Structures are given as C-alpha cells and as structure tokens.
Amino acid sequence: MSTKRGKLLIVDDNAGIRQALKILLPMHFTEVETLPSPVTLVSTLERFRPDVVLLDMNFNTDINTGNEGLYWAGEIKQMMPEVEVVLFTAYADIALAVEGMKRGAFDFIVKPWDNEKLVATLTAARDKARKAMGRDAKKEEEKAAPMYWGSSRAMTVIQKTVDKIAPTDATVLITGENGTGKDMLAREIHTRSLRSEKPMVAVDAGAITETLFESELFGHVKGAFTDAHTDHVGKFEQADGGTLFLDEIGNIPLHLQAKLLRVIQSRSVVRVGGSQAIPVNIRLICATNMDLEQLVREGRFREDLYYRINTVHIALPALRERREDIVPLAERFISQFAEKYHRPLIGLDDSAKAVLENGRWSGNIRELQNCIEKAVILSEGTTLTAKDIQLEQAKAGAPAAGTLKEVSDAEEERLVREAVLKSNGNISAAAKMLGISRPTLYAKMKKYGL
C-alpha cells in the first residue's frame, strides 16, 4: 500500500461515485475533496491546492468545446502546470481521453474502475506532481536529445552534409514532405553550430497574418499602430547571435517576400513605425514542403529570394523511402512514451514490426510518432502487438487519408474547404482533421478566400 500523503480533488457529477471514492481514497491521500461540477473548480484549486485532480470527462455545463473534460483539463494545466490531471471516462470516450493525455493529462481511468488500478494511477500522479522540479529538468534534457539519423543511404548522405555545414554560417534550405523532421534537422544544425549557446528562434512563416507579418518579424515601436502600447522586438532581433528558422517559407505572400529579402540581404531591420536600422547577426535556416522552383516558374515565389535562401539545399526523404529506419524509430518512440505515460513497455513483437514496415506512412515520422504514442497509451502488456498499432491507414494498400500531410498542393484547397464544412466551421476540429495547427489553417483559409 502506498504511503498516505498528498491532496486529491475529485470532480464528478455522479453522487454515488463521489461517495464511493470518498470512502476508498482517504486511505491513500492526506486530504480528499469532491466537487459535483467544475463550476467552482477555479476557486477550489486556488484554495485547496491539490497535487492531483481526478476529472470526469462530461458534465451538464454550457461549455461549448465538444467535451468538457478536455476543456477543464486544459484550464487546470494552464492555471497550475504542476498539478497532475487524471481523466475519469466511460469506455466510449477513450479516444477523447487519449487526446487529453496528449494535451497534458497524466493518465485516464475507465468506468467502471478497478480499485487497485485507480489507486496505483492516482498515487503515481501524486508522486510525479511532488517531483515537478525534477520533471521540468528532464523535459529540458529531452529537448536536447540528438537527432536519429538511421541507417538509410539517403540519411547517411545528409548526415555527412550536416557535418560539413553545421560549423559554418551558410544559409540552409530544408525541403521535404510534412512530417519528415525538417524542424528537427534545423535544430540539429543549430545545436552543432558555433552559435549553439545563442537562441534558435523558430517562426511558422505561413501562419503569420499579413497585417502582423512585419511587426512579428521586424518588430514595432510604441505608437506604431492602435494597439502598439510598447516597443516590440521582432523575431530577427530575438535571434541575434543565434539562428532564425523560418518554417513554411513557401506560404509567404509575394508582396511580403520583397520585404523579407531586403532584411536578409542587409542583415538589418527597421521596426514598424521606426526609422533606425538595427543590425542583426543571424544564421538563417528555411524549410518548406513546397516545390519552390515550380513556384518561381509560376511567378508565386521571388527568384532572387529563392537563390538567397538556397546556399545549401537539403532534401529530406519520405519515411517510405527509408523503411529500414521505421522499426528503430518506433522503438525510440516506445521508450520515450513508455516513460512519459508510465507504461512497462520494452518493445515490439514481430506482428507489430510487420505492420509498421508495410505501412504507407503518408504522414511520415510525425504520423509514426502519433501512432506509437496512441498505442503506448492504450497498451496493457509489455510488448506492442499489431493489434495495439490500430492504424488502418498505415497498412499497405489502404487509401490515403484526407490530411494536408498526405496530399499534393493541387488537392489542398479542396481538403481545406471539406474540413471546414465537415466541422461546421469549428476551426479546432478542422485543423485536427487536416493535421495542422489553428494558425496555419487560418492562413490557408485566407489564402483560399474562406
């Protein structure tokens, strides 16, 4: 039996459940409080300061999010990041609970519950909450984890290129399908550069609205426009001495490309509303999933900007072109997520390896990572099986799914319109359906006049 310590808050609208847990859990926690709804959750958190919140997934409230549990889990983590949230869910809502874990929940318990498993999960969450400082240090270590190159011929060539260019200040253009790891490669180049002690500032260039483009990248002075109450340092200045990573550079509108080119050429910025040229010392890395040469031929991307950012070009291969790396990558993800979600997993059995190796993986490494994360969360044994993988679209011969990770540029507008229509205008739902962020979806909607 676990040592009795810590504070637990239970939020569930079923009086019978609250009563049963109020009898069981004080044997394991110093203090246990219950709430019938999240109406007073915020004030209770401030007063009670729990280590763990056991949170029901559904309540009779007016929160218009599609699921109250996800909403309140997010609110708790935003208000008190050190508090661990365990989701209490019916079997039918397991998919939502998995999504909740991806958003920061510690784990989930399915009703009707097993007392032993419930206690074990809650006490593990409590112990993690009480070691929050150690946990944060570990996250920093995870961020610094080295890139996995694999054994494929294409990646071996890229690794040798990076060995040569990383110590220089050469501008790099990284291309490849979505999910191939362009951002990770950019981070690897920065980490191995002479600028590694300085910041690497990443910008999703395609997600910045046109009206804020100059302000976000170049900064603005107080009074430059209505809401400019203070001076703002732009991304170029933030990256001074380090590396600026411009992702999705192919999505920048043509008229803004000229302003970007001017700053790249001069290595100085003039803040919006200002007149002084501010020198910036940066190493520039850009990335895109688009064919920039084709865009240049079509007049949609400036030729002079293309050559300016293309000193060294690295084309990352799709995961289906480096199949020998699929299982090793999966095993790395298993190790990572087994620790994160407290699962006793040690690897893959032969059936799981076969499913992974024969997969289409149109979403590349990101799709593989998401697949393994979900499998780890739902796993019950010590080895993942083909049944645990549960990804029909990964199997050979399955039709391509409708996400922007998996289609050509020609199909993008149709899929964006379809997703917005199917989600009844719910931007979060549409973005999730497409496999992109909300800001990126907003940018694409504006692009297609939606």
Given this model, what pLDDT does residue 39 score?
Answer: 83
Residue with tokens 């796993």: 379
Architecture of domain 153-315: 3-Layer(aba) Sandwich (3.40)
- Top CATH class of 7-140 equals alpha beta
404-447 CATH: 1.10.10
8 Å CB contact between 278 and 231:
no
What is the C-alpha separation between 117 and 321, in angstroms, rounded? 42
Residue with tokens 């150690």: 134
The angle subtended at Cα 151 by Cα 197 and Cα 332, nearest 5°, is 65
pLDDT at 290 over 90: yes
The domain segmentation of the chain, as residue ranges, is: 7-140, 153-315, 319-394, 404-447
- Same CATH fold assignment for domains 153-315 and 319-394: no
Domain 319-394 CATH (choose: 3.50.30.40, 3.90.230.10, 3.30.1200.10, 1.10.8.60): 1.10.8.60
Q: Report pLDDT digits (tens) over 172-216.
A: 999 999 999 999 999 999 999 999 999 999 998 877 877 788 888
pLDDT band at 59 (very low <50, low <70, confident <90, very high): confident
- Bridge partners of residue 270, in order along the sequence: 277
Q: Report pLDDT digits (tens) over 3-12.
A: 678 899 999 9
Q: What pTM did the predictor assign?
A: 0.63
- Specify the length of the chain in residues: 450
Residue 427 buriedness (CB in 10 A; 0-12 / 13-18 / 19+)? middle
What is the C-alpha separation between 434 and 156, in angstroms, rounded? 32
Could you give the percent of the chain with pLDDT greater than 70?
A: 85
